[in-house]
């Protein structure tokens, strides 16, 4: 099966993921984060469309462009997972491949965190009917950041060379701290 995901439908992507001989966790996380960033982009655009007289359109347009950039970068990372092959199960003894899998998870976590923080900043400007959608997107992005950090933790645990993993342990600790800080400031409204 051709593992390239470019120009695939959602159904084709899901079929590719379910038909692999190894889990493509990194790709799935990156695509989920990209979808959340796309939804964020839409929420920001609709907020501008419905409040054009109230919002600074240049500021909001910049925010839309930032979300679009994050989305595109995440999609590129999802394809990189495919091209590097077995990103979630690195072969032992291949340091460059192992560090690439670490960097991959770190980048997904950082992009997810960046997008979630930008959305929290945008929160007060959100069009009223989109507040729940924006909250959902923040939760999705926080979840993808947490999932990418968990992937990094897993990949680090498969490597015996502490000289190789030590710098990444510090990065993981920092990511976890950022995720926990972000989680604290999420809007909390009762579900029912």
93-142 per-position pLDDT tens digit: 567 778 888 999 999 999 999 999 999 989 888 899 999 899 999 999 99
The structure tokens listed for 141 are 């992005």
Range(s) of the domain holding residue 130:
10-184
Q: Are 3 and 76 in contact (CB under 8 A)?
A: no
Task: Say if 129 falls within a structural domain.
Answer: yes
* Global pTM value: 0.83
Q: How confident is the model at residue 12 (pLDDT cuts 50, 70, 90)?
A: confident
Phi and psi based region of residue 93 (left: phi greater than 0; alpha: psi -120 to 50; beta: remaining)? left
Q: Are 150 and 81 in contact (CB under 8 A)?
A: no
CA distance 51 to 181: 30
Specify the number of domains making up the chain: 1
Q: Which pLDDT score, from 0 to 100, does residue 142 have?
A: 95
Can you give the CATH number for the domain in which 21 is found? 1.20.120.680
With respect to residue 5, please indicate whether it lies within any of the assigned structural domains: no
Does residue 164 lie in a domain region?
Answer: yes
pLDDT at 166: 92
Report yes or no on 3 lying in a domain.
Answer: no
Residue of 148, 83, 160 whose CA lies nearest to 114: 148
């Amino acid at each position: 099966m051709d593992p390239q995901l470019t120009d695939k439908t959602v159904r084709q992507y899901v079929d590719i993921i379910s038909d692999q001989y190894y889990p493509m966790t990194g790709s799935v996380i990156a695509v989920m984060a990209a979808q959340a960033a796309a939804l964020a982009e839409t929420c920001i655009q609709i907020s501008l469309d419905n409040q054009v007289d109230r919002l600074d359109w240049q500021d909001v347009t910049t925010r839309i462009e930032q979300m679009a950039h994050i989305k595109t970068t995440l999609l590129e990372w999802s394809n990189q997972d495919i091209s590097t092959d077995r990103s979630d199960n690195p072969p032992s003894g291949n340091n460059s491949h192992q560090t690439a899998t670490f960097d991959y998870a770190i980048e997904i976590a950082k992009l997810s965190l960046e997008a979630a923080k930008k959305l929290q900043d945008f929160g007060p400007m959100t069009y009223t009917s989109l507040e729940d959608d924006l909250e959902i997107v923040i939760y999705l992005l926080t979840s993808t950041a947490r999932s990418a950090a968990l992937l990094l933790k897993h990949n680090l645990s498969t490597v015996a060379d502490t000289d190789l993993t030590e710098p990444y342990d510090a990065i993981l600790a920092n990511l976890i701290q950022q995720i926990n800080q972000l989680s604290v400031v999420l809007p909390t409204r009762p579900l029912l």
